[in-house]
Amino acid sequence: LRPTQFCGCTIAGVSLLSPSVLRLQSLRDPRDWLELLLEPGSLYVLRWVWGEPWG
């Protein structure tokens, strides 16, 4: 999934009733990734302000 093609410069992850994992993967190198644990009832918003998105 290329985030800028589908959602512009913002990515959001939400976890409602159980923990979930938000995985961000580099477009340049698929072996380069980051996983974030979202606790129940949490919201994570990543927004790029300058330059190209991660990857």
Q: Does residue 45 carry a pLDDT above 80?
A: yes
pTM of the model: 0.56
52 lies in some domain: no
36 lies in some domain: yes
Question: Tens of pLDDT along 6-37?
Answer: 556 778 888 899 998 888 887 788 898 889 88
- Torsion sign (Cα): 38, 11, 45, 35: positive
- Give residue 4's region: left, alpha or beta (phi > 0; psi -120 to 50): alpha
Could you give the number of structural domains in the chain?
1
Residue 48: CB atoms within 10 A of its CB come to: 14
pLDDT at position 53 is: 54
Q: Which domain holds residue 9?
A: 3-47
**How confident is residue 52, by pLDDT bands cut at 50, 70 and 90?**
low
43 lies in some domain: yes
**How confident is residue 1, by pLDDT bands cut at 50, 70 and 90?**
very low
53 lies in some domain: no
- Give residue 8's region: left, alpha or beta (phi > 0; psi -120 to 50): left
